[in-house]
Chains A and B, each alone.
Chain A
Amino acid sequence: MSAMRPHAPFIAGLAQIGACGIFLLQILRAVPRSLRYARETVRQIFFVGAMSLVIIMTCGLFVGMVLGLQLYHTLSIFGGTAALGTVVALSLYRELGPVVTALLFAGRAGTSITAEIGLMRATDQLDAMEMMAVDPLAYVIAPRFLAGIVAMPLLACTFNALGILGAHLVGVSWLGLDNGTFWSNMTSNVDVWDDVINGVWKSLAFGAVVTLIATFQGYTTPPTSEGVAYATTRTVVYSSIATLALDFVMTAFLM
């Protein structure tokens, strides 16, 4: 038996990244053709966007409440509780909103996209489309890719809104911070372009990356039940790593 070369996993990883890059180019080439399937894209926005609202809203609310509680405690040490609204809003708009939404999206919608496409592969549905002269990249993949890019910023905005509401509930309604102070400090220190729109850019990028990984894993999965199971797991793992790494890069450029 030949000894396994130590750099083989590294080479395999690079090959996967290269294949994923080619897959992205194929999707982009299929996007114009997918415009005739606009109804399918809208259906996918509903599935990955609207159907993710419950988890996004619930998590946004609790993340905001925890943030409000922790920051109130920390700021009170320095006598700076008046800045609670500002700090919560900046944390959510710049980082937590886009990043946590992307992680939740990968778990909720990304896995579902991978499993659905993987099962279509395993049951020859994608081959059947090819044989009926229907391009699966235009009919199946591109609509899901576009849906992810559209849905992610909307979900992140929802997450941010519920997060601020959660922090307000804890800081103002529970711990007694002045309502006017909470809102006025926030509105005067948060900039739409520097903070809110930067978060939207991040969400767009995360939407593209997570749905690219999810569709790639589903499209290339081995046509077995074990293959689909591993592919869904890889979607969560790779999407999470890619989201956090991309967040660092984008933060460095957008600061």
Chain B
Amino acid sequence: MDTKPASARDDALITVRGLRTVLNAKTIFDGVDLDIPRGRITAIMGPSGTGKTTLIRHITGQLVPDAGTITVDGQDVWRLSRDALFALREKIGYLFQNSALLTDFSVFENVAFPLRQHLKLPEELVRNIVLTKLQAVGLRGAAELMPNELSGGMMRRVALARAIVRDPMLIIYDEPFVGLDPIALNQILKLIRTLNQTLGITSILIAHELAAVQKVADSIYLIAAGKIAAHGAPAELTRGDSPWTKQFFAGEADGPVPFHYPAPDYAAQLGLAGAKP
């Protein structure tokens, strides 16, 4: 199993080296190295609470790491000025885990927001772009609804339309499949693949749904215990014999990744006789 990053490749859009993060006295990352190749779909998987979203927050310059370097499109994220960081973010689409729609704006205005803020486009063109993106996620008919009138799955699709409205160089999908019905899930998978194939958009996909990830991802990074536990193509990883991949992809409670949060002795806590204190 190749657990090393493809560091030698020149076509990496994002490179992470020696990433170390400690939050609330807990080590989240301890020397993580990884590469996100340009024009590919890379999935980041791992047990809950392992730091997948934290990794994305480092990559997008939202959270300062304790050590290590992160370069995006050749720019060291943590050496950029605020204006340069914002210029970089204009080229990144981000689908938030909880959608993060602007609650004062309609669906249409949410999707149009990045266009209105950064581009002086004629209203007719804004309308056409927004309706095209909403059509892609199946919500053109919901353009005039407010976010509080949408289901969780619909909100996620609106957020996806907003993330892709400017055809960015990089799209980060944080849990895009949660709350989607099978039809919507299939359409979103097709959309992710189409965006990647037709526009060459690099994608980072954080998800737990292995079946869905296998359909679209070119490679998977498995993060566990603060390190890259495994890396490779989906088929290669699921067939692998590493204890990490075996446990994670089989969904077993026993293995190197503890299912239980650290706790005192169960019997002692229940006050059972003879238990060790």
Contact = CB atoms under 8 A, between A and B. Distances in A.
A121 to B, nearest CB: 11
B89 interface: yes
Interface string A144-155: 000000000000
Interface stretch (A7-15, A123-131, A207-215): A123-131
B124 to A, nearest CB: 21
Nearest to B91: A133
A134 interface: yes
A128 B96 contact: yes
B96 A130 contact: no
5 contacts: A125-B101, A127-B100, A128-B96, A128-B101, A130-B62
A123 B62 contact: no
Interface in A192-221: none
Interface residues of B, number: 20
A201 B113 CA distance: 38
A133 B62 CA distance: 12
Contacts of A119: 103
B88 to A, nearest CB: 8
A132 B113 contact: yes
Contact of A124 (B96, B113, B118): B96
Given A130-B62, A131-B92, A124 B87 contact: no
Contacts of B198: none
Given A123-B103, A125-B103, A133 B118 contact: yes
Contacts of B60: 131
Contacts of A128: 94, 96, 100-102
A124 B98 contact: yes
Interface in B224-254: none
B90 to A, nearest CB: 5
Contacts of B24: none
Nearest to B60: A131
Given A130-B89, A133-B90, A124 B62 contact: no
B87 A125 contact: no
B259 interface: no
Interface in A91-146: 119-120, 123-125, 127-135
Contacts of A134: 113-114, 117
B87 A131 contact: no
A112 to B, nearest CB: 13
A129 B100 CA distance: 9
A131 B171 CA distance: 11
A128 B118 CA distance: 15
Contacts of B118: 133
A125 B90 contact: no
A125 B100 contact: yes
Contact of A132 (B62, B98, B114): B114
Nearest to A130: B62
Across the A-B interface, the 5 shortest Cβ-Cβ residue pairs = A128-B100, A124-B100, A133-B86, A133-B89, A131-B94
A217 B94 CA distance: 27
A209 B262 CA distance: 46
Given A131-B89, A133-B86, A134-B113, 8 more contacts: A124-B100, A127-B96, A128-B96, A128-B100, A132-B162, A133-B90, A133-B114, A133-B118
Nearest to B166: A132
A88 B100 CA distance: 51
A132 B96 contact: no
Contacts of B87: 133
The residue among A120, A125, A129, A133 with the most chain B CB atoms within 10 A of its own CB is A133
Nearest to A122: B98
A124 B94 CA distance: 12
Interface in B142-193: 162
Contacts of A129: 102
Interface string B17-53: 0000000000000000000000000000000000000
Interface string B102-126: 1100000000011001100000000
Contacts of B92: 131
A5 to B, nearest CB: 20
Contacts of B97: 124
